[in-house]
Structure 1
Amino acid sequence: MENRALGAISIKQMKNLLLMRHGKSSWELNVNDEDRALLQRGINDSKRIGQELETQELNIDFAFSSPANRALHTAMICLRQIRFPLNKFQVVPELYDFSGNYVLDFVKKLPNDLNTVLLFGHNHAFTHITNSLGHQHIENVPTAGFVQLQFAIQSWESLSKGTTIRTIFPKLLKK
């Protein structure tokens, strides 16, 4: 009986940060960076990752996206695949970040009742965060790449080194 109670406590102390980089985007059109669209490959890879995430038991509490077109489009494709309720989704300007500093500040201010959050955003921010907070070095989170980091904490504010639980990259899913 005592062990079961301890197990329940440790589960509540886990926070999961799910990062998904936007799909492959186009540089062909003469538009602002924020307005760049996904290429067909980016659309396909985002859908493929979403289909794979649908098979995982992630129990996502909330999802957030950068306002950039390519990140938002990736989010919509992926979230549709996992049948995620859009009333638990929000666009956040701080996620339009390439260094990772604004993303980390955002995560540290998340409400503590959210245990698993999914962010859609950009590199180099996501590779930097993955390598700074995860235990496994990843050279580069590719476009439409997904990383799950887990932390034995109760408060997002105390975010520190955690464990890289899984990576899902489109190249590894292609048949």
Structure 2
Amino acid sequence: MKRLILVRHGKSSWDNNLPDHKRPLKKRAYNDAELVLSAFQHFYQPGALFWTSYAVRAHETAKLFKERLKIKDIDFKVKEDLYTFNQNELLSEIKTCDNSRDKLIVFGHNPAMTILVNSLGDKKLDNLPTTGLCVIDFEVDSWDQIRKGKTILTLLPKNLR
């Protein structure tokens, strides 16, 4: 079995006229991450590989999860190819995960995240909001075989407030 956990980056700021990949998190992102992490930490089983886009908003969100869940540096990787808004590019990158790992957590961007949640999972979402998290299980042995899985958990900050 393979478990994919998709997390959209936290709410970011448009205030500073920065390039898209350099936009920082807003204060709300930290509050939302606290809500999601408080619920998720009871569900999380150690051993996941963490991959994040290099965009500041995704990387900072991933670091909040890394710290709270006590993820080792060796299991935390910033990947340039995850800075994409295209679901096919995102899925192609996910399929490169080493098959010795059964759990992968990916921090990325919309619309790719919402489209993947809907195409891979069995429960539809209108939108995976900022700091939204979705867990999908697949009855396969290889990451390149993931197609249609079972959505087993969705955590949305607005539902946890």
CA distance in 2, matches of 1:109, 1:77: 25
2:48 match = 61
Report deviation, 1:102: 1.5
Q: Does 1:92 align with 2:79?
A: yes
Moved more, 49-58 or 90-99: 49-58
SS of equivalent residue, structure 1 residue 38: coil
Report deviation, 1:123: 0.7
CA distance in 2, matches of 1:50, 1:83: 12
CA distance in 1, matches of 2:44, 2:37: 13
Choose the corresponding residue for 1:113, options 82, 100, 123.
Answer: 100
Choose the corresponding residue for 2:137, options 147, 150, 163.
Answer: 150
**Conserved? CA contact 1:133–1:162, under 8 Å:** yes
CA distance in 1, matches of 2:38, 2:69: 7
Higher relative contact order (CA 8 A, sep 6+): 2
Length-normalised TM-score, structure 2: 0.96
1:16 match = 3
Give the aligned CA root-mean-square deviation in angstroms: 1.0
Q: Does 1:81 align with 2:68?
A: yes
Aligned residues: 161
CA distance in 2, matches of 1:142, 1:35: 20
Tell me, which stretches of 5 or more residues in structure 1 are unaligned?
A: 1-13
2:154 match = 167
CA distance in 1, matches of 2:69, 2:6: 15
**Conserved? CA contact 1:47–1:81, under 8 Å:** no
Choose the corresponding residue for 1:133, options 120, 132, 135.
Answer: 120
Note the alpha carbon deviations across 1:16-70, whole angstroms, 9 max, x for none.
Answer: 0001100100111110000000000012112221222211133342100000000
Moved more, 61-70 or 48-57: 48-57
Length-normalised TM-score, structure 1: 0.89
SS of equivalent residue, structure 1 residue 75: helix
SS of equivalent residue, structure 1 residue 37: coil
CA distance in 2, matches of 1:47, 1:76: 12
Question: AA paired with 1:76?
Answer: K
1:9 match = none
How many percent identity over aligned positions? 36
Q: In terms of Rg, which structure is larger?
A: 1
CA distance in 1, matches of 2:38, 2:82: 24
- Runs (4+) off by over 2 Å: 57-61
Choose the corresponding residue for 1:50, options 9, 25, 37.
Answer: 37
